[in-house]
Structure 1
Amino acid sequence: MSQPDNTLHIAMVEDHPVVIEGLRRILAQEMPHATLLEFHTGDAFLQHLRGTQHVVTLALLDITLPDTNGVELCQKVKSQSPDTCVLGFSNHNDRALIMQMLSSGASGYLLKNVSAQELMQCVREALDGQMAFSDEIKKIIAKPSAAQAKAVPPLTKRERQILRLIADGKTSADIATELLVSPFTIETHRRNLMQKFDVNNAAALIRLAAQLQLI
């Protein structure tokens, strides 16, 4: 770690006292010269960021706080203090939520069931400018999303063409006129496409095709 302990300001944004106590004990033992700050609400932390002359080096953000959620708070923290490194710290292991945190500027995510050793490894990795994840989170991230897991169905050239026209919002009659075929033919293609993508309506078809980067 390139930054000495005595220049570190580490914030624990967490509303459960027992969790704060555990974090403080571990961090104080491993980084005895770091300044440890605790906040029980997101607003209290944001007020501190606005008023302090010291950059908060790293913040451990709980995902569920009394006044906000971790995703929104992360966005505000990074907007207000871009140099602050944010780690999501939560019991929630939902992949979509983890990815939202990362999209909001977080440098990593760890679960509250981590060991002291794993916690400190993640903290040090984040302070070194790396993305930091607890082992369980690494496994969750490695799994493909539902859209990624669904294989791209084989499509004919005509089906791809019709799929793009459906995504453009055109009706079967419009597409039939443009392609010089009967509306019945287009409806047949629509049914085949929805069967191949295993969806029940055009909106779901378009959404999944977009996720698979086919349109």
Structure 2
Amino acid sequence: MEKNKLIKPIRVITVDDHEILRGGIKFSLLAFDDIELVGEARNGKEAIHLCAELQPDVVLMDLMMPEMNGVQTTRFIKEKYPKIQVLVLTSFVETDLLQEVMEAGAIGYLLKGASIDELAETVRFAAAGLCKVSSEALQSLFQQPKSLSQPVYELTKRQQEVLALLSVGLTNDAIAQKLKISPSTIRHHVTQILNKLGVENRTEAATKAVRVRCF
């Protein structure tokens, strides 16, 4: 117990114009000792002020708000405070907004209907600089026709499957179990994916996958 007390909690602020929803998030986060809610904002301007004042680790960002929407606020925060991670927490999946907010610098995308355990896990991913996108958001991307103007990355079908699972936060071992192939083969696929996308790590691969529809 003494050791746990020495672990610095993840400092979070919520940004949502609905007071009831902010209250629900606040109540949910109380269940976790390693996550601390340090501030609440009703809109983008308040969020920017709190980021300057509190320097949180993670911002839980709604997309549809008055004055400044979530995309605009995310872009400003990431330009001004690049160490602060923005995790989108929204009620719906809008593929254009999903890609736009990831391009603006968001680290993840989660629906408000997610369980409190999934919320906590995704906050931890964000604080560690790891991308995690909800499976519902990825499924929505799968169902959208690709634009001919988008960059084409020559990923094999298997590499696309690995990239999709990587984007929802699965480890190499978990991906191997799900696809029923060896972990060493998964590691090889991940290396090939990083090379083909021109990125250095899994987080960059996951965010790029969502931004430019690599699936």
TM-score normalised by structure 2 residue count: 0.61
More relative contact order, 1 or 2 (CA 8 Å, 6+ apart): 2
Partner of 2:100: 100
Give distance in 2, aligned partners of 1:132 and 1:5.
23
Equivalent AA in structure 2 for residue 36 of structure 1: V
Give distance in 1, aligned partners of 2:83 and 2:126.
12
- CA pair 111-33 structure 1, distance change in 2 beyond 3 A: closer
Q: Secondary structure at the match of 1:83?
A: coil
Q: 1:41 aligns with which of 19, 43, 59?
A: 43
Trace 1:109-124 onto structure 2 (pairs within 5 A).
Answer: 109-124=109-124
Partner of 2:186: none
Trace 1:16-165 onto structure 2 (pairs within 5 A).
Answer: 16-31=18-33, 34-50=36-52, 52=53, 54-143=54-143, 145-147=145-147
2:14 is the alignment partner of 1:12: yes
- Contact between 1:12 and 1:38, CA under 8 Å: does it hold in 2? yes
| Aligned-residue offset at 1:15 | 1.1
Q: Secondary structure at the match of 1:29?
A: coil
- CA pair 116-33 structure 1, distance change in 2 beyond 3 A: closer
Give distance in 1, aligned partners of 2:76 and 2:7.
26
- Contact between 1:13 and 1:60, CA under 8 Å: does it hold in 2? yes
- In structure 2, the gaps of 5 or more residues are 1-5, 153-211
Please, which moves more after superposition, 125-134 or 100-109?
A: 125-134
- Contact between 1:24 and 1:36, CA under 8 Å: does it hold in 2? no
Equivalent AA in structure 2 for residue 74 of structure 1: T
How well do the aligned residues superpose, as a CA RMSD in angstroms? 2.5
- Contact between 1:122 and 1:134, CA under 8 Å: does it hold in 2? no
- Contact between 1:122 and 1:132, CA under 8 Å: does it hold in 2? yes
> Which ranges of 4 or more aligned residues in structure 1 deviate by more than 3 Å?
4-7, 141-146
Higher Rg: 1
Give distance in 2, aligned partners of 1:35 and 1:115.
17
Q: Percent identity?
A: 24
Give distance in 2, aligned partners of 1:147 and 1:75.
24
Q: Secondary structure at the match of 1:74?
A: helix
Equivalent AA in structure 2 for residue 31 of structure 1: D
Equivalent AA in structure 1 for residue 67 of structure 2: D
- In structure 1, the gaps of 5 or more residues are 153-210
Equivalent AA in structure 2 for residue 58 of structure 1: V
| Aligned-residue offset at 1:33 | 6.0
Give distance in 1, aligned partners of 2:35 and 2:146.
45
| Aligned-residue offset at 1:146 | 3.5
Give distance in 2, aligned partners of 1:122 and 1:84.
15
Q: Deviation digits for residues 64-98 of structure 1, max 9, x if unmatched?
A: 11211111110001111110000111123111110
